[in-house]
Structure 1
Amino acid sequence: MILTQCAVCATDLGLTLGKKCGRCSTRYCGPECQKKHWEEGGHDKLCKLIKKSGGAEQYNANNKYAEAVTIAAEACAEDTKGQTCYICTQALHWKTKEGLVRGCSCRGTAGVAHVSCLVEQAKILVAEAEENNLGHDAFNARWRRWCSCSLCEQEYHGVVKCALGWACWKTYLGRPETDEVQGMAMSMLGNGLFFAHNYEDALSVYEAMLHMLRRLGAAEEHILIAQSSLASTYRALGRNEDALQMDRDIYSGRLRLNGEENGHTLLAANNYSTSLIGLKRFEEAKSLLRRTMPVARRVLGDNNDMTLKMRVIYAEALYEDEGVTLGDLREAVTTLEDVGRIARRVLGGAHPLAVGIEDALGNARAALSASETSPTSNNA
């Protein structure tokens, strides 16, 4: 499902082209590459091992997970130095010998854990929910342990989110396509790759997910979620026209399906405005945000990360516009100062959103300073 390239020449095979090794399901563009891999690429030695691991997809996921855990532990080493896992109370994991991570909004000694311990916690909670046939809301509350901290309730970010994404995918990838959990795990992997800035890999996952949902005749709700993830990846890769076209359709679909006060609709508005700004269509972005920001603040509250993101994007639309006035620049700085205070208090100063707000504030202040000292500044 995620492996969509020839193992030898990296030709894109999509989800159906090419051929597979009859034993381990490793994918190739044709018999020549398969033969070359066996004779020169070491597949003759790996084939049995890959099959024993559960096939090429499982083998790949296991290896990617191990790599991601190492990267996450190294990235968090300074922050977790001298601390212990809040789950197993050990500094070094007893079995995997991995280091500690913290990728949430906890501070001090809170929130430090091993990825393996977080994974085991999530697996147990989801298994209990399935065994006891818990309802949708109860199941989703337990599923959130795959992506959010049980202490601060904020989502993990960066390389920690990526490691958990690979863990989730390797846990559930063997389930049938019709099993909702398998699709949720695929989404978790795509999100993890995206927030670790592995955009090309995330794109492959999201495209595979959308293709699968359409093939299965999934509900419009699930199609819209998959399209939203794909559009965000287009933006990250600089494919702004592709992103805008998809975001426009998603926002229209959300308004029709959910109404303007739904969280998914507000997210769609946020993404749509981001695409507009990426194409320098600032007036359209500001018009959209002026309609949706009051709704977000009323429905979600000022502390919600979506509300904060929406206000940041609005400030960026103000100070990046070539026709910006002094009044616009002052409004942008005031807005970013306010959301910055909230983000640091709610999410912590190290959170990517808080860091991004500080960067945007620096840009807005620089633009304001330059405009105030310019003899041709527009004081309107």
Structure 2
Amino acid sequence: MILTQCPACAAPLPPRAAKQCSRCKTRYCGPACQVQHWKAGHDKLCRKIRKSGGAEQYHANTKYAEAVAVAAEACAEDTKGQTCYICTEAVHWKTKEGLVRGCACRGTAGVAHVSCLAEQVRILCDEAAENHLDMSPRWVRWHTCSLCEQSYHGVVFCAMGWACWKTYAGRAENNKARMSAMTVLGSALCAEDQEGALRVREAELAMLRYHDSPEEYLLIAQGNLANSYQRLGRAEAALNMYRDVYSGRLRIFGEEHRDTLMAANNYANFLIELQHYAEAKSLLRKLAPAAQRVLGESEQLKFVLRMIYARALYMAPRATADDLREAVKILTETARAARRVLGGAHPRALAIEESLRESRAALSACEASAA
């Protein structure tokens, strides 16, 4: 469950043996907290929570509504005077929510209501399930725009994450769509709520282990959890998990697989954060030919791998002039491609531009010192 804290005292809940309300299934760390919460007002909410589908569904609905309001407010200036490309209305007829756009679309493209985007994906996924079709090309629309084919980001992705979880939270724990929805939510929360993302990802890994899920699923969950550890400053836990995930994917998939390259990207990025530049450079240089063959020219992962390799070159304390020139060349080409594909305002494009400025400054300083 995503609800991992007692609503009365905020203590961590036991994974499966928690005390719960017999009516609405709200969980508590013990009988005392249940009584306290009832007296504090739960008696007035209990029926409403039960009617919504239980504590988990009620919580998902509430967080979704909050996230949509935040996203619409953040996008208000960008979407002013425009209409949803799905329902063609400025204000949603039912929810009264405003418009959002959190992808690489520009101009009048990509503007929509979160509710419309979520409903569109839900219908596509339901049709695929009913007709026994491959769900993957449809499922990616929970986190990727169908128009520009680039990822949602920021508060819009956060809202889509809650929309996905809200849609599937009521299903059985071992339901594939529910498991995947938990993954989407954890990724979506990363930019806005690191502690929340950590709780989701820990719950996801515990659930997968309980249901004896395949190793591939466990590796995905471990990689996501390592990312949360990194963002929260838990360096040792993050490094060990990144290393294990990369080794596991290399063993299962081999070098020329997108999942292996993704794991290498995460591992190398954290090595750079820990200032292990030589190790990161060696890893990425070894995988560069595979990335060139496997990844398309417009894939974000290819941009990121090149950016991280360049950082390993120019950030090293003993970087040579040749290293710095190579880094500037790589980042100049990558920045140009990222602007074309993602747009200049995309966080990924901005990060590459920042790295380009840093590498140029490092090269200038090196050349001035030599002169």
Asked whether the two chains share a fold, i.e. TM above 0.5, the reply is yes
Partner of 2:320: 325
CA distance in 2, matches of 1:6, 1:19: 10
CA distance in 2, matches of 1:178, 1:221: 15
CA distance in 2, matches of 1:294, 1:237: 33
Asked if the contact 1:121–1:145 (Cα under 8 Å) also holds between the matched residues in 2, the reply is no
> Alpha-carbon deviations, 1:36-95, whole Å to 9, x = none?
2222x3212111111111111111100000010011111111111111110011111111
How far 1:14 sits from its partner (Å)?
Answer: 4.1
Asked if the contact 1:240–1:278 (Cα under 8 Å) also holds between the matched residues in 2, the reply is no
Partner of 2:196: 201
How far 1:31 sits from its partner (Å)?
Answer: 2.0
Partner of 2:140: 144
SS in 1 for 2:71: helix
Q: Select which of 175, 179, 190 maps to 1:179.
A: 175
Amino acid at match of 2:5: Q
Partner of 2:113: 114
Q: Select which of 148, 157, 161 maps to 1:161.
A: 157
Amino acid at match of 2:347: P
Task: Tell me the number of residue pairs that the alignment of Structure 1 and Structure 2 aligns.
Answer: 371
How far 1:160 sits from its partner (Å)?
Answer: 1.0
How far 1:302 sits from its partner (Å)?
Answer: 3.3
TM-score normalised by structure 2 residue count: 0.96
CA distance in 2, matches of 1:14, 1:201: 17
Amino acid at match of 2:83: T
Partner of 1:52: 51
TM-score normalised by structure 1 residue count: 0.94
Root-mean-square deviation (Å): 1.4
Partner of 1:133: 132
Aligned pairs (5 A) from 1:215-226: 215-226=210-221
CA distance in 2, matches of 1:167, 1:301: 29
For structure 1, which runs of at least 5 residues remain unmatched after alignment?
A: none
> Alpha-carbon deviations, 1:162-214, whole Å to 9, x = none?
111111111111111221111011111111111x3311111111111111111
SS in 1 for 2:123: helix
CA distance in 2, matches of 1:34, 1:178: 28
CA distance in 2, matches of 1:22, 1:293: 56
Aligned pairs (5 A) from 1:208-287: 208-287=203-282
Aligned pairs (5 A) from 1:331-350: 331-350=326-345
Partner of 1:24: 24
Partner of 2:360: 365
Percent of aligned pairs with the same residue? 62
For structure 2, which runs of at least 5 residues remain unmatched after alignment?
A: none
Asked if the contact 2:14–2:29 (Cα under 8 Å) also holds between the matched residues in 1, the reply is no
Asked if the contact 2:158–2:192 (Cα under 8 Å) also holds between the matched residues in 1, the reply is no
Asked if the contact 1:293–1:307 (Cα under 8 Å) also holds between the matched residues in 2, the reply is no
CA distance in 1, matches of 2:49, 2:128: 31
SS in 2 for 1:42: helix
- Asked whether 1:305 is paired with 2:300, we answer yes
Asked if the contact 2:313–2:327 (Cα under 8 Å) also holds between the matched residues in 1, the reply is yes
CA distance in 2, matches of 1:292, 1:14: 42
